Structure 1
Amino acid sequence: MTRQQCPLCEEVQGQEIYRDRPEMRHRRAYYRCDRCNLIFVLPASFLSFQAEKAEYDLHQNCAQDLGYRRFLSRLGIPLLNCLAPGSQGLDFGSGPGPTLSLMLEAAGHCVVLYDPFYADDGAVFAQMYDFITATEVVEHLRQPRMELDRLWSCLKPGGILGIMTKLSRDDAAFAGWHYKSDRTHICFFSVQTFAWLAARWQAELSILGQDVILLQKPLPPSNCRPPTQP
């Protein structure tokens, strides 16, 4: 069986684990990496940028939707519990109706936005942040290694990357998983994938429930030596 290069760890370790049924209009093959456990589809299955944006334009999420705010609070509340007053953050993949950023700003924090379709200002990556959020974003990444490493490099020591994405389980569960049916979803993370990332970054990993992930950047080691005893 031909192996494919994983877009996250970049090893040629991906084996096909599932293929959409023949009667499906847009049939895709899915590969799982033996090294980092990411599940991914090949670039030939990606939507065009125009078709991808057309899908996002259909989203009805808005800041006034209380149900949407409750959904985002699954990340927002534990993140707020970790932040110092007046923290500076980036909402990566903020979408057409930024909401989590407003919730965090209402709690006294400052948040800038980035989205490749709706707020495409690359200058945000020249700044450093106390926290970065990515809600329902990482499953859309065409180059997950590049994008995630870029976000990590923008975090201050001790900073937190907060992610919301549905976590994949075993291959049998994946076959019936509705999450893979969205054609804008092209890579799927698991507990093992985030553990691999945490080890690579030497990060502290917390997984809350089925879809909230916090990765905290380590503080640099202290160069101070304890005082010499007389």
Structure 2
Amino acid sequence: MTNRCPLCASARTVFYLQDKKREYRQCERCRFVFVPERFWLSADAEKREYDLHENSLQDPGYLTFLRRLADPLAEQLKPSSKGLDFGCGPAPMLASWLTRLGHDVAVYDKFYAPNGRVFASRYDFICATEVVEHLRNPGLTLNGLWSCLTSGGVMALMTKRVQDQEAFGRWHYKNDPTHIGFFSEQSFQWLAHQWRAEVDFPAADVAIFTRR
């Protein structure tokens, strides 16, 4: 059983917190907080949790939520850009919104749109909203997505960020059993350094990387 960091693969991880259901560890190199594998749900149980979500293409509140990422992303895009909505879920509203703005958007979700052919293409932008906290191997997955970006391409991620250990102990976000990885701003800065990318934080739960 390994306690290596699933983001940067460092063996330098330390105990961070224990609650009634799970243990959490933090990487000393990239500051990523993660749930050890022995606490993960099975794939079937994970999907049952997602099936409980009630997001809908007709829900204006859901669109307002997504536009915290969509609006700053759209400001950076050239007309008719080609993109990928990774982890789109059963109601790909973000892809629908960006398509209405004139962009060509493919979708992928391991449960609801499992079309692996999308990874054979290159994209001007990739977005993932409330997805990266679910990834079992975030380092491998995010590096793979990054390799699909064109020069000057943009990756936009939405996920709530770790602040400190005290706040983490009170944090409702960690209580979702499908949330197994938690990024801090330092984690995103580490990724930007690895990718030689620029990173901006237009909202408290949004990080936008630009490929140089």
Question: Structure 1, residues 108-130: CA drift from partner, whole Å, max 9, x if none?
Answer: 00100000001111110000000
- The structure with more helix, counted as a fraction of residues: 2
Residue of structure 2 equivalent to 1:99: 93
For 2:93 and 2:15, the matched residues in 1 are separated by 37
5 Å-filtered alignment, 1:1-230, equals 4-21=3-20, 27-218=21-212
- Between Structure 1 and Structure 2, whose CA radius of gyration is higher? 1
Residue of structure 2 equivalent to 1:24: none
For 2:86 and 2:31, the matched residues in 1 are separated by 24
SS at match of 1:147: helix
For 1:119 and 1:84, the matched residues in 2 are separated by 26
SS at match of 2:76: coil
Displacement of 1:151 in angstroms is 0.4
For residue 127 of structure 2, what is the amino acid of its counterpart?
A: T
Displacement of 1:46 in angstroms is 0.7
Displacement of 1:208 in angstroms is 1.7
TM value normalised by structure 1: 0.91
For residue 7 of structure 2, what is the amino acid of its counterpart?
A: L
Displacement of 1:209 in angstroms is 2.2
Displacement of 1:4 in angstroms is 2.3
TM value normalised by structure 2: 0.98
For 1:174 and 1:153, the matched residues in 2 are separated by 32
Question: Structure 1, residues 21-78: CA drift from partner, whole Å, max 9, x if none?
Answer: 3xxxxx1100010000000011111100000000111110011100000000011111
Question: Structure 1, residues 112-155: CA drift from partner, whole Å, max 9, x if none?
Answer: 00000011111100000000000000000000011000100000
**Unaligned ranges ≥5, structure 1:** 22-26, 219-230
Displacement of 1:13 in angstroms is 1.3
For 2:79 and 2:203, the matched residues in 1 are separated by 26
Question: Structure 1, residues 91-122: CA drift from partner, whole Å, max 9, x if none?
Answer: 00000111000000000001000000011111
SS at match of 1:81: helix
Q: Per chain length, whose mean CA-contact separation is higher, i.e. which structure has more relative contact order (CA < 8 Å, sep 6+)?
A: 2
CA RMSD for the aligned pairs?
A: 1.1
SS at match of 1:148: helix
For 1:112 and 1:4, the matched residues in 2 are separated by 35
Size of the aligned set, in residue pairs, is: 212
SS at match of 1:103: helix
